[in-house]
Structure 1
Amino acid sequence: MKIGFVSLGCCKNLVDSEKMMGMLNNGRHEIVHDAKTAEMIIINTCGFINSAKEEAISTILEMARYKQEGNCKKLVVTGCLAQRYKADLEKEMPEVDAFISIAEYPRLHEIIGSMIEDDQLQVFGKCERLLSSKPWTAYLKIAEGCSNHCTYCAIPLIRGDNVSVPLEQLVEEAKRLAARGVKELVLIAQDTTKYGVDRYGKRSLIDLLKAVHEIEGFHWIRILYMYPDEIDEELLMGMTKLPKVVPYFDIPMQHGDDHMLRLMNRRGSVAEVKALVERIRELFAFPTLRTTYIVGFPQESEDAFENMIDFTKAICWDRMGAFTYSPEEDTPAYTMEGAIPEEVKEQRLAQLMELQERISYDQSQRWVGQVLEVLVESQEGLTGRYRGRAANSAPDGVDGMITFTSEREIPFGTFVEVLVTNALPHDLQGVEKVAERV
């Protein structure tokens, strides 16, 4: 059977999609990229915030048209939306043949197998992932769920508390990825810094980093989603001794005012984060600092917002993303008093992003004249310029790229040295540094 996949949401969801595709890619079924040719379409949904839910519903309706007009005979919806709203969706969307919740993933092979008359499917997560991104980069999901219980977040309701994957299992998966040619390994979880606490009784991220660092083939190892209060001295000092681990710190702050952080049930304080950032910049010559903010959380006063502005100026994040607060039912913040009007949220968001644009531009200027190692990923058809990423950019589409010229043909997925000649707020420009000939 020809099976098409649509994976929505975060890269953690993408890993689940790759596991599903691996489960189905057993020689009897073909994964296709064109939904028009698919006989079954599986949509792996996100349900984190309202915009994600809207995108998921829109995608389901779009794919449902292929059942009416095309070859598609079966439409399946999985992921966070199916986990959270399965009963309601089954009533409202009869065009979908099956809504499969995350809790049902251990039986995924049985459920889908019965729909396509295949009783030979491997168990979800036990088969080789079918990598869907660029072949030189892969994500390694080191834990499922989250135990932080931030007052705005529905993730614990959807995926449960943090459950760390056994270290030995992760090392084996990492070895398989390296053997397949993966050069950049990206460790992900809802909270990577909490890895091991539930399983080993202590923070064990540095132990995992040491283990995967020994695997031959990886050139870069990157960590995403590091909570600030759990980035301790042991982790930082350990990272300084692991050259493959890039000094990239993705720290989701969510706000820059202590009162708002407490309302959000975020641990740590603004002063502690400032001290952490200062320590990071002491230990690493060119660290990259990325964060996310929520604007317009209930009870966010003008003073609280100004504190976030001041905090942002003090830190000077290299990368920063922000979104307006989206009330999620069944979370503590959903019934919290002091809702902020939408127009105020949008005005504050615009002000914050305008500030960050200036900061990003200033931060980017430090790269001019520097030689960066760049992972080449594509080439512009009209100009012939190459596009790639340096260690300061993650592969999740949030960060910028570096565009450069070269006098030679460069295979994608290789590393080259690029002299940076110009810096924009998010992207860099340069020319390949040619080795001097003796």
Structure 2
Amino acid sequence: MKIGFISLGCSKNLVDSEKMMGMLKSGHHELVKDAQEAEAIIINTCGFINSAKEEAINTIFKMAEYKKQNCKKLIVVGCLAQRYKETLEAEIPEIDAVISIREYPHLHEILHSLLDGKELVSYGKSERMVSSKPWTAYLKIAEGCSNRCTYCAIPLIRGDNVTFPMEQLVQEAKELAQRDVKELVLIAQDTTKYGVDLYGKRSLLELLQKLHEIDGFHWIRILYMYPDEIDEDLIEGMAKLSKVLPYFDIPMQHANNRMLAAMNRRGTKEEVLALIKKIRKTYADPTLRTTFIVGFPSETQEDFDELMQFVEEVHWDRMGAFTYSPEEDTPAFDMEQSVAEEEKQRRLAILMQRQEEISLANQQKRIGTVMEVLVEAQDGLTGKYRGRGANSAPDEVDGMVIFTSKQPLALGSFVQVKITEALPHDVIGEALC
């Protein structure tokens, strides 16, 4: 059967999609990119914030149009399906099946009954399809989250943090390395909590040590590191592992201690400043990335000013920011929504404008230096290459390196690039080859 697969949302959802596509392949289904060719369409949805929910609903309605043509089945899975299963079933009759995350252990049986084809291998047991660029793959090391931030619906959707066994992850990583993956990116809702539920202690460093021993990987990157769980042992242990990049993705969400408490974020601004000082003392050129929420209930102008001062003090290399989005069934939903939408947008614009200036200043320091770059694309008209340095994750949040080369370069290879020009997010250079 010809099946179209659409994956929405974050990289963690993408890993789920890749496992599902592996299942479908095990049943001898053909995955097609053109929805007009598809006899069945599966949409893996995101339901984290309002904009993600709107994207998911719009995609469902768009794909429902193909049911008037060749498409026989429209199937919705993922976070939106978990959170609003009954509503979707009742209000969008074009959907043939809404499969919640809790049903994934039986996903092979459900899909087999819906689709023509042979028996399917159970979820997560088939060979996973890597749908991103073939030299980069995500390794999801845990599911769910136990942090209970007051604004976040993830625990409602995905449940508490559940660590995946280390031997299972090492085996999956070895299989990815055998498929010529060069960059392994560790992801979870909270990677630093890895092992607490299963082994009774934080075990991220031990996992990194085992992954570091696998032949084939050139870079190992970690995303979503909760600040209060990045301890001295982890920082110094990572520094001893040459493949593990000094890339610290630390979602802060705010800098005012009262706001952090209202968000149920552990730790204080002062503790994070001490952490950053330790990281910069340990590494010569670390990358510090964060995210912030503006307009959270009860955020005052003074609170926002403190956030701006914090940004000035740290000079983050990478930063994303969002306006607060009220999510039903979360504690913050019942708080007084005291910041008007117009004011949220004003604060966001001020924050992002200042960060762009900081990013440009940080980038300009790289002019004249040489960066190791993973080659990812070549422009057909100009011949220029595009790639990423160790300071850029593959999730389209960070910038790129745009460069020329006198010699043809293979995509997925590494090259040394001398930086000649800087933009707020990208840098420009020349390959040394």
Partner in structure 1 of residue 16 of structure 2: 16
Asked if the contact 1:49–1:328 (Cα under 8 Å) also holds between the matched residues in 2, the reply is yes
Partner in structure 2 of residue 153 of structure 1: 152
Aligned letter for 2:67?
K
Partner in structure 1 of residue 343 of structure 2: 344
* Cα deviation, residue 120, structure 1: 1.2
**Cα distance between partner residues in 1 of 2:211 and 2:237:** 13
Q: Per-residue CA shift, 1:369-389, capped at 9, x if unaligned?
A: 111110000001211000000
**Cα distance between partner residues in 1 of 2:380 and 2:335:** 52
* Cα deviation, residue 119, structure 1: 5.0
Partner in structure 2 of residue 207 of structure 1: 206
**Cα distance between partner residues in 2 of 1:98 and 1:338:** 36
Q: SS where residue 217 of structure 2 aligns?
A: coil
Q: SS where residue 153 of structure 1 aligns?
A: coil
**Cα distance between partner residues in 2 of 1:291 and 1:186:** 17
Q: SS where residue 241 of structure 2 aligns?
A: coil
Q: What TM-score does the superposition give when structure 1 sets the normalisation length?
A: 0.98
Partner in structure 2 of residue 370 of structure 1: 369
* Cα deviation, residue 361, structure 1: 0.5
**Which segments of structure 1 move beyond 2 Å, counting only runs of 4 or more?**
none
Partner in structure 2 of residue 290 of structure 1: 289
Aligned letter for 2:400?
M
- What's the RMSD between the two structures over aligned residues? 0.7
Asked if the contact 1:74–1:97 (Cα under 8 Å) also holds between the matched residues in 2, the reply is yes
Partner in structure 2 of residue 7 of structure 1: 7
Partner in structure 2 of residue 408 of structure 1: 407
Partner in structure 1 of residue 53 of structure 2: 53
Aligned letter for 2:3?
I
Partner in structure 2 of residue 177 of structure 1: 176
Partner in structure 2 of residue 259 of structure 1: 258
Please give the residue correspondences for 1:29-178 in structure 2 after superposition, counting only pairs within 5 Å.
29-68=29-68, 70-178=69-177
Q: SS where residue 55 of structure 1 aligns?
A: helix
**Cα distance between partner residues in 2 of 1:95 and 1:339:** 39
Partner in structure 1 of residue 315 of structure 2: 316
State, as a whole percentage, how many aligned pairs show the same letter.
68
Asked if the contact 2:43–2:76 (Cα under 8 Å) also holds between the matched residues in 1, the reply is yes
Query: Runs of 5+ in structure 2 lacking a partner?
Result: none
Aligned letter for 1:190?
Q
Partner in structure 2 of residue 325 of structure 1: 324
Aligned letter for 1:276?
L
Asked if the contact 1:110–1:119 (Cα under 8 Å) also holds between the matched residues in 2, the reply is no
Asked if the contact 1:227–1:251 (Cα under 8 Å) also holds between the matched residues in 2, the reply is yes
* Cα deviation, residue 337, structure 1: 2.0
Asked if the contact 1:145–1:161 (Cα under 8 Å) also holds between the matched residues in 2, the reply is yes
Partner in structure 2 of residue 424 of structure 1: 423
- Tell me the matched-pair count: 433
Q: SS where residue 25 of structure 1 aligns?
A: helix
**Cα distance between partner residues in 1 of 2:33 and 2:172:** 25
**Cα distance between partner residues in 2 of 1:183 and 1:86:** 38
* Cα deviation, residue 27, structure 1: 5.9
Partner in structure 1 of residue 303 of structure 2: 304
**Cα distance between partner residues in 2 of 1:289 and 1:334:** 30
**Cα distance between partner residues in 1 of 2:360 and 2:234:** 30
Query: Runs of 5+ in structure 1 lacking a partner?
Result: none
Q: Per-residue CA shift, 1:364-416, capped at 9, x if unaligned?
A: 11211111110000001211000000000000010000000001111100000
Q: What TM-score does the superposition give when structure 2 sets the normalisation length?
A: 0.99
Asked if the contact 1:185–1:218 (Cα under 8 Å) also holds between the matched residues in 2, the reply is yes
* Cα deviation, residue 28, structure 1: 2.0
Asked if the contact 2:375–2:410 (Cα under 8 Å) also holds between the matched residues in 1, the reply is yes
**Cα distance between partner residues in 1 of 2:380 and 2:366:** 26
Q: SS where residue 367 of structure 1 aligns?
A: coil
* Cα deviation, residue 164, structure 1: 0.2
**Cα distance between partner residues in 2 of 1:305 and 1:72:** 50
* Cα deviation, residue 118, structure 1: 3.5
**Cα distance between partner residues in 1 of 2:273 and 2:176:** 36
Q: Per-residue CA shift, 1:145-168, capped at 9, x if unaligned?
A: 000000000000000000000000
Asked if the contact 2:384–2:404 (Cα under 8 Å) also holds between the matched residues in 1, the reply is yes
